[in-house]
Amino acid sequence: MNLPNKITLARIVLIPIFIVILNLPIKYREFLAAAVFIVLSLSDALDGYLARKRKEVTNLGKFIDPLADKLLVTAALIFLIGHGVEPWMAFLIIAREFAVTGLRILAASKNVVISAKKMGKLKTISQIIAVIAVLLDSEFAWHIMLVAVVFTVVSGVDYFVAAKKLLNEKE
């Protein structure tokens, strides 16, 4: 197992720590949770950078890296419902993740790889910023979360439009 994959697996293993911190009855837990969330989010950039730089991109990494991202953001959204995240916002973001993952599975079954697009990367960045804004109780947290929802929906539509030919194929 290479270093980038170890970093990604560590990110997955540390998500429950983030959740525990969110639920601890301690002073400044939001700041501590935000710090952990930031570290976990930055580790995503680190593992990708290392995998490309060291030419250690693996099939395992291609699978677990987006999974780790989805698990982290989904956990944050679920636990922040009612604390700055509206249920409909969490639903739209999580539903998009399921839909695009399903699309990727369909594509893979036809030996087609759907790689990340720029809009997908913007979506991830906006979600991370939005979760941090909610954790830190920013005055503009709701609006930032709304921007993340818009980026999320638009990027999901972008993936499906790009895969239109694949979706219309007959067996």
* Angle between helix 3-23 and helix 29-53 axes, rounded to 10 deg: 170
So what's the pLDDT on residue 147?
A: 97
Name the residue with higher pLDDT: 80 or 170.
Answer: 80
Give 171's pLDDT tier (boundaries 50, 70, 90).
Answer: low
- For 90-146, what is each residue's pLDDT tens digit? 999 999 999 998 998 888 888 887 777 788 889 999 999 999 999 999 999 999 999
So what's the pLDDT on residue 18?
A: 96
3-state SS record for 96-120: HHHHHHHHHHHHHHCCCCCCCCHHH
Q: How far apart are CA 74 and CA 61, in angstroms?
A: 19
Interacting residues of 69 by C-beta distance below 8 A, sequence separation 6+: 44, 124
Query: What's the number of domains the chain is made of?
Result: 1
For the residues 54-78, what does the mean pLDDT come to? Answer: 91
So what's the pLDDT on residue 111?
A: 82
- How many CB atoms within 10 Å of residue 87? 11
**Helices within the chain (DSSP H only):** 3-23, 29-53, 59-80, 87-109, 118-135, 141-162, 164-168
So what's the pLDDT on residue 116?
A: 74
Domain that holds residue 16: 3-168
The three-class DSSP label of residue 85 is strand
Interacting residues of 131 by C-beta distance below 8 A, sequence separation 6+: 37, 73, 76, 77, 80
Share above pLDDT 70 across residues of the chain, in percent, rounded to a whole number: 99
Q: How far apart are CA 113 and CA 139, in angstroms?
A: 40
The domain that holds 162 is classified in CATH as 1.20.120.1760
Which stretch of DSSP H or E encloses residue 26?
none
